Amino acid sequence: MKKNLLKFVCIVCSFLLLISFSVGCAKDKDAKGGGTEKQSSSSDSTTQTGDDIAPIKASLMAWSVNRDNTEGIKNDRILAYVKDKFKLNLEILSADGQQEKYSTTLAAGDVPDIMFAWTGMESVQKAAEEGMFLNMNDVVSKNPQKYPVLSKMFSDKFLKYYNDIYFTDAENFYGIPAPSQARYVFGSIIFNMKEMQALGQQMPASIDEFINLLRVVKNQSKMTPFTAHNIKGTSWSEFNWLFFQPQGGSLDIAQLNDDEKITTRVTEPVNKDIWKQISQWYKEGLLDREMFTKEAYYHLGEFNGGKLFSCAGMLPYDNPIMHWWFMDFPKQPGYTQSDAKIMPFPFKGPNGETTRNAKQSIQISGYVHVSAKTKDPERVLSFLNWLFSKEGQTTVFYGLDGIHHIKDSNGNPVVIEEEWKKEKGNWNQPDAAYWAPFNIVTFSGHIYDVEKAESWFDALQKSQETIDVYTATSPQDEYLAHGTEITKNFIEHTFIELPPYASFRFSEAEFSIQRKVNDLCNKYFVGFVTGQIDVEANWDKFVKEFNETGCDILERAAQGYYDKNKKLYDTIK
């Protein structure tokens, strides 16, 4: 299945908040610090604050931060740089357990001065509607020269288009978009190759070969044969990619076809036979049972720890993330990084079908919001103007100039690895590919230069190259070449480029229906797999209950949003 494949929207039943036409999010980059005076060269995007102004406290809620290293955080040089330059004494708050944390925080009216939130979260949408976030354009439009990056972004017609989609208000900006774009993300399987060789086996090329391999592992190895990222049955995208789509089935709640009509495929008869297959695999002990029982199940951690022979994952073409995912694997005695390999091609079904992956040209992963009650909006926006500039983004991924990185002859940053790891280690992430508190700017692993580009949209389109921070001062990570080769295979056989208008958010009433659909599917799917619900005897009952959830309302709503957004997009092209 190549480029003439149907355009589609992969909405697996586990996606709770937003119908998205993209299949993944990417993360990660690196940082460190030391005196702040060394990063003195300011671009036009930076705003210098007078030395006679006393710093004020401002809270910033970020995700993937650990605050246990109190001494390191106290001496963090990037925080010191921001305090000196913008007179902001940032208090970094953790958004771990994000959805619940955001909901409880916003319900109490306790909005941090600066916070990142994923697109489509109901609590965030409600907070915007209730005026809890600052309308940044009110401040920026009064003095655009002071905020050149934000001013350019807020005047971009395409950004207004996305603003209209997510906040139903094109002109008022209650958040700064944190985009991800041009990312190839695919579902594949990671294998423990050392165990593979010990068993005298090789990489499978079909579902049948894969299952036979798992049977060998079950009978001859102490390792659990296979798992996927599945927390008590609430994530089915990897099962969809690996086992349903190659066999002509689909768990897509909304699929966009060649005729641009959206259809639901969850209850198609072919899916019944595939669920029966998977239930048999579970009965044989080929699937890790913990993925259906644990509240939090870090499957990559289990794999890196030597418990699992193979695990599925949404794998990004991004060298730093590949490095981060597998950085613990070589810590096992006698193992090297090359002992973990990714299946380099998608499974093909009996009719030559394979998985389908979408690559959306631009998707807004989330927004950075500012509290309407923040003490000094101008100071906060000056900081954000810098953070979204090329200089600020470079700091997120490479640290401070002269402290965490130096410039090569072409002006590109070269990491001083020891210093950068030390700074990232303040947040217990020395091997991450970014400085954790500020990883709210982009989820593409790219630096996009708004100032030099014609527009925000143009800047994103031009930032196609993946940042590779593991160069110059450290050996090139072997997963760069590994990932490149694998990505070529998946691009050739599975990828569809989706248009920029192929994403939207549901209304609160539609969200409620989507939750009902997800809850019903998860109940039945877990039951089907574990044998608690007999597939053959209960399939018609499942179909009947599914049709009664109101999924047809979601289907019509999705079609309406798609048609509306396409029309709006066509008018501004």
* DSSP sequence for 113-175: SEEEEETT-HHHHHHHHTT-B--HHHHHTT-GGGSHHHHHHHT-HHHHHHHHHHHS-SS--SS
Provide mean pLDDT across the span 412-423. 88
Given a contact cutoff of 8 angstroms between Cβ atoms, the answer to whether 441 and 178 are in contact is yes
The CA distance from 35 to 12, in Å, is 48
Helices in 199-291 by DSSP H: which ranges? Answer: 207-220, 237-239, 269-283
Instruction: Average the pLDDT over each of 9-23, 225-239, 438-452, 523-537 and give the range with the smallest value.
Output: 9-23
Check residue 534 and give its pLDDT: 98
| Most confident residue range from 60-64, 399-403, 411-415, 505-509 | 399-403
Q: b/e string for 256-281 if b means 16 or more Cβ within 10 A?
A: beeeeebbbbbbbeebbebbeebbeb
Residue 202 has pLDDT above 60, yes or no: yes
pLDDT, tens digit, for every residue of 214-227?
999 999 999 999 99
Check residue 48 and give its pLDDT: 47
Provide mean pLDDT across the span 35-45. 38
Check residue 347 and give its pLDDT: 86
Q: Which two tokens stand for residue 504?
A: 């939207």
Q: Rounded mean pLDDT of the chain?
A: 79
Check residue 135 and give its pLDDT: 94
| Most confident residue range from 38-42, 221-225, 353-357 | 221-225
The CA distance from 561 to 504, in Å, is 7
Closest CA to 466 of 187, 183, 188: 183
Residue 23 has pLDDT above 70, yes or no: no
Task: Using the Cα atoms of residue 236, residue 556, residue 121 and residue 151 in order, give the sign of their dihedral.
Answer: positive
Tell me which of 206 and 305 has the higher pLDDT: 206
| Most confident residue range from 89-103, 166-180, 470-484 | 166-180
Residue 391 has pLDDT above 90, yes or no: yes
Instruction: Average the pLDDT over each of 51-55, 323-327, 363-367 and give the range with the smallest value.
Output: 323-327
Tell me which of 418 and 305 has the higher pLDDT: 418
Calculate the CA 188 to chain-centre distance. 16
The CA distance from 369 to 377, in Å, is 12
Residue 511 has pLDDT above 70, yes or no: yes
Calculate the CA 58 to chain-centre distance. 26
pLDDT interval class at 74 (50, 70, 90)? very high
- How many Cβ atoms sit within 10 Å of the Cβ of residue 363? 27
The CA distance from 382 to 365, in Å, is 23
Residue 300 has pLDDT above 50, yes or no: yes
Residue 266 has pLDDT above 60, yes or no: yes
Provide mean pLDDT across the span 26-47. 35
The CA distance from 130 to 134, in Å, is 11
Tell me which of 295 and 266 has the higher pLDDT: 266
The CA distance from 520 to 233, in Å, is 11
pLDDT interval class at 188 (50, 70, 90)? confident
The CA distance from 443 to 363, in Å, is 10
Coil vs helix vs strand at 546: helix
Check residue 327 and give its pLDDT: 57
| Most confident residue range from 273-282, 388-397, 456-465, 563-572 | 273-282
Instruction: Average the pLDDT over each of 146-150, 354-358, 416-420, 560-564 and give the range with the smallest value.
Output: 354-358
Provide mean pLDDT across the span 132-137. 94
The share of the chain scoring above pLDDT 90, in percent, equals: 38
For the entire predicted model, the pTM comes to: 0.69
| Most confident residue range from 34-43, 192-201, 226-235 | 192-201
pLDDT interval class at 17 (50, 70, 90)? very low
Q: Which two tokens stand for residue 476?
A: 């090139």
pLDDT, tens digit, for every residue of 238-260?
899 899 999 999 998 888 887 88
Residue 316 has pLDDT above 80, yes or no: no
Tell me which of 241 and 499 has the higher pLDDT: 241
Residue 2 has pLDDT above 50, yes or no: no
The CA distance from 232 to 245, in Å, is 22
Provide mean pLDDT across the span 272-293. 94
Amino acid at 541: K
Instruction: Average the pLDDT over each of 95-109, 347-361, 436-450 and give the range with the smallest value.
Output: 95-109
Residue 476 has pLDDT above 70, yes or no: no
Tell me which of 196 and 486 has the higher pLDDT: 196
Tell me which of 101 and 546 has the higher pLDDT: 546
Check residue 40 and give its pLDDT: 36
Provide mean pLDDT across the span 526-544. 97
Check residue 214 and give its pLDDT: 98
Burial, 390: exposed, middle or buried (Cβ in 10 Å; 0-12, 13-18, 19+)? middle
pLDDT, tens digit, for every residue of 427-468?
877 767 778 888 777 655 678 889 999 988 888 877 644 444
